[in-house]
């Protein structure tokens, strides 16, 4: 059964701890169970994030698009113009999904990291927020959320790392971290 939100808010998950992307994914899964449709854009997360495989089973409710590589970060370079254009186009597409009413929840995953590394501009996201229809929920995730965007959000959670096994030398594990 398909339903609609009465009123949508802006949720923001930031901080250096684990759980930002998984919280957003879990939120989409919960919403799907109620009959709400979610459109997810994952920035800088091409392959091999395994949520992609699972969400195929919920494709009536959840659409997920991955956009932009993150290899320029590892090369310690500015993002190539081609990637900046891709990020902007992904936002235009997401805005269309949000405004057309075909989706109830829009998730921009790792949007703040994308701003931090120069793929997107804070102003572009503020404009995106500004265009949010009353009954759409917007979820933004990533480290380094700019204060101007925090100011616009209704719900802000900081995932704060208290203890992490990375400090014990454990590497990211497939199926867990990606």
Q: Is 164 exposed, middle or buried (0-12, 13-18, 19+ CB in 10 A)?
A: exposed
Question: How many Å apart are CA 111 and CA 139, to the nearest integer?
Answer: 10
Q: Among residues 39, 42, 43, 51, which is the contact residue for a copy of itself, using CB under 8 A?
A: 51
Shortest gap between Cβ of 1 and a copy of itself (angstroms)? 10
The radius of gyration computed from the CA coordinates of the chain, to the nearest angstrom, equals 16
Written in H, E and C, the secondary structure of 109-140 is: ECHHHHHHCCCCCHHHHHHHHHCCCCCCEEEE
174 is an interface residue for a copy of itself by CB under 8 A: yes
Query: Residue 37 carries which DSSP code?
Result: -
User: Among 75-83, 86-94, 114-122, 157-165, which window interacts with a copy of itself (CB under 8 A)?
Assistant: 157-165
What is residue 4's three-state secondary structure?
A: coil
Q: In this chain, which stretch among 3-11, 66-74, 77-85, 126-134 interacts with a copy of itself, using CB under 8 A?
A: 3-11
Q: Which of 40, 41, 44, 55 binds a copy of itself (CB under 8 A)?
A: 55
Judged by CB under 8 A, the stretch of 19-27, 68-76, 82-90, 110-118 that binds a copy of itself is 19-27
Q: Give the sign of the dihedral formed by CA 132, CA 154, CA 110, CA 135.
A: negative
Contact (CB, 8 A) for 64 and 51? yes
Among 47, 82, 147, 163, binds a copy of itself (CB under 8 A): 163
One residue of 113, 114, 117, 137 binding a copy of itself per CB under 8 A? 137
Any contact of residue 147 with a copy of itself (CB under 8 A)?
no
Residues within the interface to a copy of itself (CB under 8 A): 3, 5-7, 9, 11, 13, 15, 17-27, 29-36, 49-55, 57-58, 61, 104, 137, 150, 153-165, 168, 170, 173-176, 178
């Amino acid at each position: 059964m398909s339903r609609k939100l009465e009123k949508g808010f802006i949720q923001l998950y930031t901080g250096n701890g684990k759980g930002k992307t998984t919280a957003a994914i879990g939120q989409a899964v919960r919403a799907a169970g109620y009959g709400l449709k979610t459109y997810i854009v994952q920035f800088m997360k091409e392959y091999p994030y395994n949520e992609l495989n699972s969400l195929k089973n919920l494709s009536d409710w959840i659409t997920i698009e991955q956009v932009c590589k993150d290899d320029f970060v590892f090369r310690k370079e500015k993002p190539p113009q081609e990637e900046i254009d891709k990020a902007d186009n992904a936002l235009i597409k997401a805005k269309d999904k949000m405004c057309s009413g075909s989706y109830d929840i829009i998730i921009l995953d790792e949007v703040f990291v994308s701003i931090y590394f120069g793929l997107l501009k804070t102003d572009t996201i503020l404009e995106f927020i500004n265009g949010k229809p009353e009954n759409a929920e917007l979820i933004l995730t990533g480290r380094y959320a700019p204060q101007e965007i925090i100011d616009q959000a209704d719900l802000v959670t900081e995932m704060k790392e208290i203890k992490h096994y990375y400090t014990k030398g454990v590497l990211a594990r497939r199926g867990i971290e990606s």
